[in-house]
Amino acid sequence: MAAAPILRSIALAGLMLAACTDAPEPSPDTPVSSGVQPVGAGTPTSTEPSGPAQPSDCNAPKAERFVGRNADAATRAELAAAVAPTTTIRWVGPGDATTEDYSTSRLNVMLDVGGTSRSAHCG
Protein backbone atom coordinates (compact mmCIF):
# COMPACT_ATOMS: atom_id res chain seq x y z
CA MET A 1 0.00 0.00 0.00
CA ALA A 2 1.15 3.53 -0.68
CA ALA A 3 0.15 4.79 2.76
CA ALA A 4 2.70 2.62 4.61
CA PRO A 5 5.82 4.59 3.51
CA ILE A 6 4.09 7.86 4.33
CA LEU A 7 3.13 6.63 7.81
CA ARG A 8 6.71 5.44 8.41
CA SER A 9 8.02 8.87 7.37
CA ILE A 10 5.61 10.62 9.72
CA ALA A 11 6.58 8.32 12.59
CA LEU A 12 10.29 8.87 11.92
CA ALA A 13 9.78 12.65 11.85
CA GLY A 14 7.96 12.43 15.18
CA LEU A 15 10.83 10.46 16.74
CA MET A 16 13.35 12.96 15.44
CA LEU A 17 11.40 15.84 16.94
CA ALA A 18 11.08 14.02 20.25
CA ALA A 19 14.85 13.52 20.35
CA CYS A 20 15.33 17.25 19.95
CA THR A 21 13.26 18.04 23.02
CA ASP A 22 15.31 15.83 25.37
CA ALA A 23 18.06 18.43 25.72
CA PRO A 24 18.40 19.85 29.22
CA GLU A 25 17.30 23.43 29.76
CA PRO A 26 20.22 25.81 30.44
CA SER A 27 20.45 27.14 33.95
CA PRO A 28 19.95 30.89 34.45
CA ASP A 29 23.68 31.19 35.22
CA THR A 30 24.79 29.56 31.95
CA PRO A 31 25.69 32.08 29.23
CA VAL A 32 23.80 31.41 26.03
CA SER A 33 25.42 32.12 22.68
CA SER A 34 23.31 32.84 19.64
CA GLY A 35 26.20 31.86 17.38
CA VAL A 36 26.05 35.29 15.74
CA GLN A 37 29.19 37.37 15.94
CA PRO A 38 29.08 41.15 16.14
CA VAL A 39 29.91 43.02 12.95
CA GLY A 40 33.66 43.15 12.46
CA ALA A 41 34.34 40.21 14.80
CA GLY A 42 36.26 37.23 13.46
CA THR A 43 36.75 36.49 9.81
CA PRO A 44 34.21 37.43 7.17
CA THR A 45 31.90 34.61 6.11
CA SER A 46 30.94 36.03 2.71
CA THR A 47 32.92 37.14 -0.28
CA GLU A 48 30.12 39.44 -1.45
CA PRO A 49 30.76 43.16 -0.96
CA SER A 50 28.50 44.71 1.64
CA GLY A 51 27.67 47.84 -0.33
CA PRO A 52 25.62 48.31 -3.47
CA ALA A 53 26.89 46.74 -6.66
CA GLN A 54 29.18 48.76 -8.84
CA PRO A 55 29.00 48.21 -12.61
CA SER A 56 32.59 47.03 -12.55
CA ASP A 57 31.76 44.20 -10.08
CA CYS A 58 30.38 42.08 -12.95
CA ASN A 59 32.04 43.90 -15.88
CA ALA A 60 28.74 45.46 -16.98
CA PRO A 61 30.51 48.31 -18.84
CA LYS A 62 32.19 45.74 -21.07
CA ALA A 63 28.75 44.30 -21.93
CA GLU A 64 27.31 47.67 -23.02
CA ARG A 65 28.64 47.31 -26.57
CA PHE A 66 26.32 44.31 -27.00
CA VAL A 67 23.15 46.32 -26.29
CA GLY A 68 20.99 46.33 -29.40
CA ARG A 69 22.37 43.02 -30.68
CA ASN A 70 20.37 39.82 -31.04
CA ALA A 71 21.31 37.40 -28.27
CA ASP A 72 22.08 34.46 -30.55
CA ALA A 73 24.67 31.83 -29.64
CA ALA A 74 27.54 33.70 -31.30
CA THR A 75 26.71 36.97 -29.51
CA ARG A 76 26.37 35.17 -26.17
CA ALA A 77 29.78 33.56 -26.60
CA GLU A 78 31.36 36.87 -27.64
CA LEU A 79 29.82 38.68 -24.65
CA ALA A 80 31.00 35.94 -22.26
CA ALA A 81 34.57 36.35 -23.56
CA ALA A 82 34.33 40.15 -23.29
CA VAL A 83 33.23 40.17 -19.63
CA ALA A 84 35.69 37.52 -18.42
CA PRO A 85 36.53 36.72 -15.66
CA THR A 86 32.81 37.13 -14.90
CA THR A 87 31.33 33.70 -15.52
CA THR A 88 27.80 34.07 -14.20
CA ILE A 89 25.67 35.65 -16.89
CA ARG A 90 21.87 35.59 -16.68
CA TRP A 91 19.94 36.25 -19.90
CA VAL A 92 16.49 37.53 -18.90
CA GLY A 93 13.64 37.90 -21.35
CA PRO A 94 10.21 39.42 -20.68
CA GLY A 95 8.28 37.22 -18.27
CA ASP A 96 11.25 34.96 -17.49
CA ALA A 97 11.25 33.69 -13.93
CA THR A 98 14.36 34.65 -11.98
CA THR A 99 15.51 34.12 -8.43
CA GLU A 100 15.41 37.08 -6.08
CA ASP A 101 18.88 36.49 -4.70
CA TYR A 102 21.26 39.35 -5.32
CA SER A 103 24.79 38.70 -6.50
CA THR A 104 27.08 41.61 -7.32
CA SER A 105 29.27 39.28 -9.39
CA ARG A 106 26.41 38.15 -11.68
CA LEU A 107 25.80 39.96 -14.97
CA ASN A 108 22.14 40.28 -15.96
CA VAL A 109 21.49 40.90 -19.65
CA MET A 110 17.93 42.07 -20.19
CA LEU A 111 16.29 41.04 -23.48
CA ASP A 112 13.21 42.28 -25.31
CA VAL A 113 10.53 40.01 -26.80
CA GLY A 114 12.55 39.63 -29.99
CA GLY A 115 15.68 38.43 -28.13
CA THR A 116 17.57 41.70 -28.54
CA SER A 117 19.66 42.83 -25.57
CA ARG A 118 18.37 46.08 -24.06
CA SER A 119 20.59 46.56 -20.99
CA ALA A 120 23.19 44.91 -18.80
CA HIS A 121 23.67 45.31 -15.05
CA CYS A 122 25.01 43.53 -11.99
CA GLY A 123 22.70 41.77 -9.58
Beta strands 117-122; 89-92: pairing state? unpaired
CATH architecture group of domain 55-122: 2-Layer Sandwich (3.30)
Decide if 121 contacts 109 (C-beta within 8 A).
Answer: no
**46 versus 73: which is more confidently predicted?**
73
Residue 115: is its pLDDT beyond 60?
yes
pLDDT value of residue 46: 44
Grade residue 5 by pLDDT with cuts at 50, 70 and 90: low
Answer for the pair 111, 71: CB distance below 8 angstroms, yes or no.
yes
Sheet holding 89-92, edge to edge: 89-92, 107-111, 117-122
pLDDT, mean of residues 67-92: 96
Q: How far apart are CA 72 and CA 92, in angstroms?
A: 13
For position 53, what pLDDT does the model report? 59
What are the boundaries of each domain within the chain?
55-122
Higher pLDDT, 87 or 32: 87
Predicted local confidence at residue 17, as pLDDT: 55
- Give percent above pLDDT 90 in the chain: 49
Confidence class for position 61, pLDDT limits 50, 70, 90: very high
Mean pLDDT within 9-26: 56
Mean pLDDT for all residues in the chain: 76
- The Cβ-side half-sphere exposure at 85, using a 13 Å CA radius, reads 1
